[in-house]
Amino acid sequence: MSRQPCVAALVGNPNAGKSALFNALTGARQKIANYPGVTVERKAGRMLLPNGEPVELVDLPGSYGLHATTSPDEEVTRRVVMGEQHGQAQPDVLVIVLDSSNLEQHLVFAQEVLELGRPTVVALNMVDLAERDGLVLDSAALSAALGVPVIPTVAVRRRGLDDLAAAVAAARDAVAEQPVARAHVTLPERRMLAHEMAQGAILSETARHRIHARMDKVLLHPWAGPPILFALLFVVFQAVFSWATPFADGIDAAFSAIGDWVRTELPASLARDLLTDGVIAGVGAVVVFLPQILILFFFILTMEATGYMARAAFLMDRLMAGVGLSGRSFIPLLSSFACAVPGIMSTRSITDPKDRLTTILIAPLMTCSARLPVYAVIIAAFIPNRAVLPGVGLQGLVLFTLYVVGIIGAMVVALILRRSVTKGAASGFIMELPKYQLPTVKDLALGLFQRAWVFLRRAGTMIFTVTVALWLLLNFPRAEPGQDQVNASIAGHIANGLAVVVEPIGFNRDIALALIPAMAAREVAVSSLATTYAVGATDDDQQGRQLGDQLKGRWSLATALAFLAWFVFAPQCMSTIAVTRRETNGWKWPGFMLAYLFGLAYVFAGATYWIAVALGLG
């Protein structure tokens, strides 16, 4: 008796391990071509049944459903399964591949396939990963629930392949029987059933796996997840202000004491002024923010170490797709909260060139840690330290808002870029979620130490150098008696020229003066202001005052708010420009980045200033 060559097809959700099974079952006997008329790959190969009989095995693209298909891939899978695909005989046997550690999710699609009533076999794949996580499944119970054979497999270790081949052979022999179509159920019903079947198939589960699964249910919930993430970040920014104060005050007092000591011990001279006004006032003004930076990183490192950060990325994936970016952009953008330079370098993992370029261009809008000193000094000086709600401080709220404005700005810019300069569609991605873990004190301490070291090294090298250079430009040429030293200096002349440009957005000469050295790095704005006010101070009393008090006396609230808005957008960072040039091979994109970011900064600072003035805050 001769038969038509039997065809079997592997179906299942993306990442179930279909291709891994396909490779294990067919070995080198593969043919790869395109389905006619579409650019979807057709992978077929020859697998052997236990009796040596060959079967054509087709590896189908991953899919979430047979009805509302959303991509050419899913459409091909649907057509092949239904027997409607041109150039492909309808499979005699369907092999549904399930990921054991995502059983509930994968059973939704499996039910849809089973409703077709075709001869079907289920490969319960990745049982090794489930067992690693403390979950042992009962394939017999699942088989009883589904009404088809269920074979546990580990595709990458070739475990269960013989049993699977035997099950395919048995199902093939049943082909002659009339297919029995099953009752159709709605999607919510299918979800419920999937939940019940997945629960019913649990043979044993460690307490830890159960807790982790429950945590994921809540933290990754499409509605509950994002508000939880948002609330968590909110707490972080509250802590950045409320916890840091005693430490920051301590550092501040130490720098003041050193400054006072130098002033009394050394004879009055330009060299003494360089030490007190340039080095101690300037560098000290930045170092004061070390506690806040460490608190921020304490939370970021903890979220990473516990496994929550990857889940945050998972939650963000949908949002990113909404603005035309893939979830792959999330990690580079997240590391840009520390610094845009490593963030931009890590975009190398994004395969789509336009996706990658868009991510590079918006990375500087993520609030890097160099902005924290700028934000913190202005907020501490101008935003009253009071609670808007019990436990919710106004200062932390403003800081949180600045971060959010940066993120919203980045999303809007991405949306616009993806429709103009870097036109293209979003490509989805699925990432593996790491296990939940308690962070170790050692790892956290090491991470914080590295952050502290990076920050202090910058303060000791670049910020020190730029501040000393600024001090020199502020002190020469020397003013005539009765003349203001800052106005007489080289830096003062340059600043007065630039002030014309920034006056319309509410900036004064001192800000214009700080913006130029701050091109080296944002936090230099703080040290520059501190040095400028120290040089410009007319008596010792004024000289000893803290930067915050100086600002309060000299700036209006409207100016302070405009200054904050400026720093949300302005590309004040030489290293970011340099790394963008390197990563995009030329000056075109860094030039574009500079232009659009300065444009946004100018418009938003101006709008903030004039709205504040109109509200009577000028």
| Smallest gap from residue 441 Cβ to ligand GTP (A) | 31
Which residues sit opposite 31 in a β-bridge? 44
C-alpha closest to that of 57 among 44, 48, 68, 66: 44
Structure tokens of 302? 């903890």
Q: Which does 434 bind (CB under 5 to 8 A by kind): Mg ion, ligand GTP, none?
A: none
What's the closest the beta carbon of residue 29 comes to ligand GTP, in angstroms? 17
Q: Work out what residue 239 binds among ligand GTP, Mg ion, none; the CB cut-off runs from 5 to 8 Å by kind.
A: none
492 binds, among Mg ion, ligand GTP, none (CB under 5 to 8 A by kind): none
Question: Residue 87: what residue type?
Answer: G
The interface partner of residue 282, options being Mg ion, ligand GTP, none and the CB cut-off 5 to 8 Å by kind, is: none
What is the rounded CA–CA span in Å between residue 384 and residue 523? 22
Q: HEC string of 335-382?
A: HCCCCHHHHHHHHHHCCCHHHHHHHHHHHHHCCCCCHHHHHHHHHHHH
In the bound state with ligand GTP, the residue whose beta carbon lies nearer, of 16 and 280, is: 16
The residues of the shown chain that bind ligand GTP, judged by CB under 6 A, are 12, 14-20, 61-62, 125-126, 128-129, 154-156
Which CB sits closer to ligand GTP, 157 or 588?
157
Nearer to ligand GTP by C-beta: 17 or 119? 17
CB 442, min distance to ligand GTP, A: 29
Q: In terms of CB distance, is 226 or 428 closer to Mg ion?
A: 428
Minimum CB separation from ligand GTP for residue 318, in Å?
Answer: 18
Q: Which does 284 bind (CB under 5 to 8 A by kind): Mg ion, ligand GTP, none?
A: none
Nearer CB in complex with Mg ion: 9/516: 9
Q: Residue 17 binds which one of ligand GTP, Mg ion, none, with CB within 5 to 8 A depending on kind?
A: ligand GTP
3-state secondary structure of 529: helix
Residue closest to Mg ion, measured at CB = 19
Q: Helix or strand or coil: residue 562?
A: helix
68 phi, psi to nearest 5 deg: -40, 80
Picked from Mg ion, ligand GTP, none, the partner binding residue 128 (CB below 5 to 8 A depending on kind) is ligand GTP
Q: Collapse the DSSP code of 159 into the 3-class scheme (helix H, G, I; strand E, B; otherwise coil) and give the result.
A: strand
Nearest distance in Å: CB 200, ligand GTP: 22
**Cα–Cα distance measured from residue 537 to residue 485, given in angstroms and rounded to the nearest whole number:** 9
Residues that bind Mg ion (CB under 5 A): 18-19
126 binds, among ligand GTP, Mg ion, none (CB under 5 to 8 A by kind): ligand GTP
3 by Cβ neighbours in 10 Å (0-12 / 13-18 / 19+) ranks as exposed
Nearest to 40 by CA among 30, 48, 32, 50: 32
Contact call for residues 60 and 41 (beta carbons, < 8 A): no
Nearer to ligand GTP, 92 or 99 (CB): 99
Q: Which is nearer to ligand GTP, 156 or 319 (CB)?
A: 156
Q: C-alpha distances in angstroms, 122 versus 20, 74, 507?
A: 15, 20, 68
The distance of closest approach from Cβ of residue 19 to ligand GTP in the complex, given in angstroms and rounded to an integer, is 3
CB of 21 to ligand GTP, least distance (A): 7
Going by C-alpha positions, the residue among 410, 325, 327, 399 that lies closest to residue 366 is: 410
Residue nearest to ligand GTP (CB): 62
**Closer of 104 and 128 to ligand GTP (Cβ):** 128
Taking the complex as a whole, how short is the minimal distance between the CB of residue 432 and ligand GTP, in angstroms? Answer: 8
- Contact (CB, 8 A) for 9 and 26: no
Q: Are 335 and 322 in contact (CB under 8 A)?
A: no
Closer Cβ to Mg ion, 13 or 111, answer by number: 13
The DSSP call for residue 79 is H
Q: How far is the CB of 57 from ligand GTP (least distance, A)?
A: 13
Q: Which of 610, 338, 618 is nearest to 458 (CA)?
A: 338
Residue with Cβ nearer ligand GTP (154 or 512): 154
> Is the omega angle on the peptide bond into residue 477 within 30 degrees of 0, that is, cis?
yes
**Torsion angle of the four alpha carbons 174, 179, 185, 189, in this order, in degrees rounded to the nearest 10:** -10
Instruction: Please say which residue, 18 or 509, places its beta carbon nearer to Mg ion.
Output: 18
Tally of residues, the chain: 618
How far apart are alpha carbons 577 and 536 in whole angstroms?
A: 32
The partner residues of 392 in beta bridges, in order of sequence, read: 389
Write down the least CB distance from residue 17 to Mg ion, Å.
Answer: 8
- Min separation Cβ 19 and Mg ion, Å: 3
Measured CA to CA, the distance from residue 205 to residue 418 in angstroms comes to: 45
Distance of closest approach, residue 217 Cβ to ligand GTP, in angstroms: 23
Q: Which is nearer to ligand GTP, 107 or 379 (CB)?
A: 107
The structure tokens listed for 149 are: 């054979």
15 contact choice in Mg ion, ligand GTP, none (CB below 5 to 8 Å, kind-dependent): ligand GTP
Exposure string for 335-359, b = 16+ CB within 10 A, e = fewer: bbbbbbbebbbbbeebebebbbbbb
